[in-house]
Amino acid sequence: MSINCIRSILEDAVQGDSEKTALLLNGKAMSYAELFSRVNQVACYLNELGLPKNARIGVYSNKGLEQVIAILAILSTDYVLVPLTRLLKPEQVEYIINDCDIKCIITDRIKLESIDEIQFDGHVISFESAAKDVASFDEIYKYYNKPYSCDISGHNNAVITYSFGLTGTPKGIVISHRNLVDSARVVSQYLKLESDDVLSGILMFNLDYGLNQIFCSFYKRATLALHRFILPEDFFNHLIDDEVSVLALMPVNISQMFDEGSQRVPSPELFDKLRIITSSGGNVTERMISDCQSAFPQASFYSMHGLTEAFRSTYLDPAQVQIRPDSIGKPIPDVELYVLNEEGKECAPREVGELIHRGGYIYRGFWNGPEENKQRFKSIEILKDVIDLEGQLTDETVVATGDYVYKDEEGYFYFVSRHDDMIKTRGFRVSPFEVESVVRKNLPQIGQCAVFSIENELIEEEIVLVYSAAHEIPEEEILFELKKHLASYMIPSKVVYKKSLPLVQSDKNQVNKDELKQELTA
Query: What's 499's domain CATH number?
Result: 3.30.300.30
Residue 420, pLDDT score: 66
Q: CA neighbours within 13 Å on the CB side: how many for 509?
A: 0
Residue 261, pLDDT score: 61
- By three-state DSSP, how is residue 185 classified? helix
φ and ψ of 299, to 5 deg: -95, 140
pTM score, two decimals?
Answer: 0.85
* pLDDT (mean) for 131-148: 90
Instruction: Tell me the pLDDT tens digit for each residue of 455-465.
Output: 888 888 999 99
344: CATH:
2.30.38.10
Q: Is residue 449 part of a domain?
A: yes
Characterize the bridge pairing of strands 413-418 and 397-407: antiparallel
Residue 263, pLDDT score: 62
Residue 119, pLDDT score: 86
Lowest mean pLDDT of 29-43, 73-87, 508-522, name the range: 508-522
Residue 507, pLDDT score: 47
Query: Between residues 5 and 436, which one has the greater pLDDT?
Result: 5
Minimal CA–CA distance to 230: which of 238, 220, 240?
238
Pair 458, 512 in one domain:
yes
Q: Which of 143, 176, 209 is the last residue of a domain?
A: 176
Pair 338, 485 in one domain:
no
Q: CA neighbours within 13 Å on the CB side: how many for 313?
A: 28
Q: Is residue 511 part of a domain?
A: yes
Pair 414, 441 in one domain:
no
Pair 406, 483 in one domain:
no
Q: Is residue 463 part of a domain?
A: yes
Q: Is residue 250 part of a domain?
A: no
Contact 455, 424 (CB under 8 A): no
Measured distance CA(218)–CA(141) in Å, rounded? 22
Q: What is the DSSP letter of 300?
A: E
Instruction: Tell me the pLDDT tens digit for each residue of 107-118.
Output: 999 898 888 888
Q: Which of 161, 176, 191 is the last residue of a domain?
A: 176
Cβ-based burial of 151 (10 A; exposed 0-12, middle 13-18, buried ≥19): exposed
Pair 433, 397 in one domain:
no
Tell me how many domains the chain contains.
3
Is the alpha carbon torsion for 51, 175, 6, 202 positive or negative? negative
The total of other beta-carbon atoms located within 10 Å of residue 281's CB is: 24
Pair 61, 168 in one domain:
yes
- By three-state DSSP, how is residue 490 classified? helix
Measured distance CA(329)–CA(315) in Å, rounded? 5
Of the chain, the percentage scoring pLDDT greater than 90 comes to: 74
Pair 379, 446 in one domain:
no
Measured distance CA(170)–CA(102) in Å, rounded? 15
Pair 404, 444 in one domain:
no
Measured distance CA(41)–CA(58) in Å, rounded? 18
Minimal CA–CA distance to 413: which of 303, 253, 301, 252?
303
Beta strands in 183-321 (DSSP E): 198-201, 223-226, 246-249, 276-279, 300-305, 314-316
Q: Is residue 340 part of a domain?
A: yes
Pair 57, 172 in one domain:
yes
Instruction: Give the range of the structural domain holding residue 371, as residue numbers without chain letter.
Output: 326-418
Q: Is residue 267 part of a domain?
A: no
Pair 141, 124 in one domain:
yes
Pair 362, 504 in one domain:
no
* pLDDT (mean) for 29-39: 98
Contact 500, 469 (CB under 8 A): no
Q: Is residue 370 part of a domain?
A: yes
Q: CA neighbours within 13 Å on the CB side: how many for 402?
A: 18
φ and ψ of 430, to 5 deg: -125, 130
Contact 78, 56 (CB under 8 A): no
Q: Is residue 50 part of a domain?
A: yes
Instruction: Tell me the pLDDT tens digit for each residue of 320-348.
Output: 998 998 899 999 999 999 999 989 999 99
**Above 60 in pLDDT, residue 168?**
no
Contact 237, 202 (CB under 8 A): no
Name the band, by pLDDT with cuts 50, 70 and 90, for residue 167: very low
Instruction: Tell me the pLDDT tens digit for each residue of 49-108.
Output: 999 999 999 999 999 999 999 999 999 999 999 999 888 888 889 999 999 999 999 999
Measured distance CA(304)–CA(445) in Å, rounded? 44
Pair 353, 464 in one domain:
no
Minimal CA–CA distance to 104: which of 74, 75, 138, 128?
74
**Above 90 in pLDDT, residue 195?**
yes
